[in-house]
Amino acid sequence: NLEVGASFLSHGTPWHVIDITEDAVLAEPTSGKNIMVPSWTGEDIPVSFEVAQEVGKMRSIKKNVSPMPDNKTVILEIVSDLVVLHLCAGTRVNNGVARLFSKKLSDLIGESVWAVADPYRILLKLPFPLKSDDIQRAFLSIKNVKSDLELSLENSPLLRFKFLHIGRMFGLLSEDANVSMRFVRALRYSAVYQETMRSIFFRYFDIGTTEEILKQIKTGKLKLVIDQREKPSYFAAIGIERASGGENVGAFEPREKIISAFKEDALSRTLHLQCLNCNATRFLHLAGAPEKITCHKCEKSTLTLLDKQNNLVRDADFAAGLIQAYGKRALIALSTYGIGPSTADRILRMIRRDEESFYLDIIEAQKKFIKNKKYWKLS
């Protein structure tokens, strides 16, 4: 039985339940971490900077890929809301750059940016596409490597996991103990915390090499190429396949598929309408609805929505005005769970370059409604 907060698989893609209504389960794509079969295979053996550089040199022999990410060329590949930084710098350097780059992008847009790294590339999933100039600027603004990495670790699962391990070694925690991030922060100046940070930096990051790589990119010693394209490159596809094969399966679910599924659901709705002028009612299937909505009896554009109990919806006059002004799009917005006339009005007023952006705005507004609903107080 599904409940809010649960995760499930559908067609190989993991989903997270964010709300359950009388006739629908509302879910969003998730990383899939909570639905993997519990197992522990250990961490991958890290690839050193030197080995990754040699791989880059071997790549440069190939002539059938352009631009070629090698030991002398760093490529910033942008595919809609997917960013791939091709950097042959090894596991520890790329781990650090991934955290720093994602933090810079998060600070820029005010939302979380998902990132994963391997020895040869860093993949970042944006909540929405950004201009290439903004992405490049965020990358080149990385500095203060050590202090920024410390900040990025403050509330991370990695810090909590390593603190638990080190705490047991120090005799501070029992073998079956568990700790919260609040507990970890409370011991920020303890020997256990300091040893935890030292262990993380030693095992997962390479501060000196990271600083040198970033310096070479900024000075031009390493060539930085911006590659904006419609589909992932050969080397990006390898990284996506690797990321999708582990615990982060589904994180790169194409936005187009989500929009397509939402649109299909929206157009499958049949709405009950009433004319505010002559009180005539009618059922209208959205898939076959005309762009301009008028009453079949008096031919005036004064239709509004009825709810499941055949009562006028709240702010029926406002809704009628939106339907008169925006037609079919207003019906799509107003018939979406969590979208009232005020929110629909804001969405419909926005200027967009394509239809997909319209559906995406509705999806984001619905998600915001669902996530905020639990904080409402009944009056």
274-305 confidence digits (pLDDT tens) = 999 999 999 999 999 999 999 999 999 999 99
Residue 123: helix, strand or coil by DSSP? strand
Section 343-350 average pLDDT = 89
- In the sheet that holds 121-125, the strands lie side by side as 114-118, 121-125, 82-86, 73-79, 223-228
Q: Looking at the structure, tell me whether residues 237 and 333 fall in a common domain.
A: no
Q: Looking at the structure, tell me whether residues 33 and 55 fall in a common domain.
A: no
pLDDT of residue 247: 36
Q: Looking at the structure, tell me whether residues 35 and 56 fall in a common domain.
A: no
pLDDT of residue 206: 94
pLDDT of residue 271: 94
pLDDT higher than 60, residue 35? no
User: Is residue 249 domain-resident?
Assistant: no
321: domain range? 262-370
Structure-block tokens of residue 260: 């397509």
Q: Looking at the structure, tell me whether residues 92 and 135 fall in a common domain.
A: yes
Residues 242, 118 contacting (CB under 8 angstroms):
yes
Q: Looking at the structure, tell me whether residues 303 and 358 fall in a common domain.
A: yes
Binned at pLDDT 50, 70 and 90, residue 21 comes out as: low
Q: Looking at the structure, tell me whether residues 282 and 352 fall in a common domain.
A: yes
Residues 362, 346 contacting (CB under 8 angstroms):
no
For 292, residues 6+ apart whose C-beta sits below 8 A from its C-beta are 301, 327, 328
Residue pLDDT, tens place only, 222-256: 999 999 999 889 899 888 877 754 333 334 455 66
User: Is residue 126 domain-resident?
Assistant: yes
User: Is residue 186 domain-resident?
Assistant: no
Q: Looking at the structure, tell me whether residues 84 and 225 fall in a common domain.
A: yes
Q: Looking at the structure, tell me whether residues 270 and 122 fall in a common domain.
A: no
Binned at pLDDT 50, 70 and 90, residue 54 comes out as: very high
Q: Looking at the structure, tell me whether residues 105 and 230 fall in a common domain.
A: yes
Q: How many domains does the chain have?
A: 3
Q: Looking at the structure, tell me whether residues 275 and 238 fall in a common domain.
A: no
Q: Looking at the structure, tell me whether residues 96 and 215 fall in a common domain.
A: yes
Structure-block tokens of residue 368: 């915001």
User: Is residue 154 domain-resident?
Assistant: no
Residues 322, 330 contacting (CB under 8 angstroms):
yes
Higher pLDDT, 139 or 177: 139
User: Is residue 181 domain-resident?
Assistant: no
Average the pLDDT over each of 17-26, 41-50, 87-96, 363-372 and give the range with the smallest value: 17-26
Q: Final residue of a domain: which of 214, 244, 274?
A: 244
Q: Looking at the structure, tell me whether residues 79 and 103 fall in a common domain.
A: yes
User: Is residue 192 domain-resident?
Assistant: no
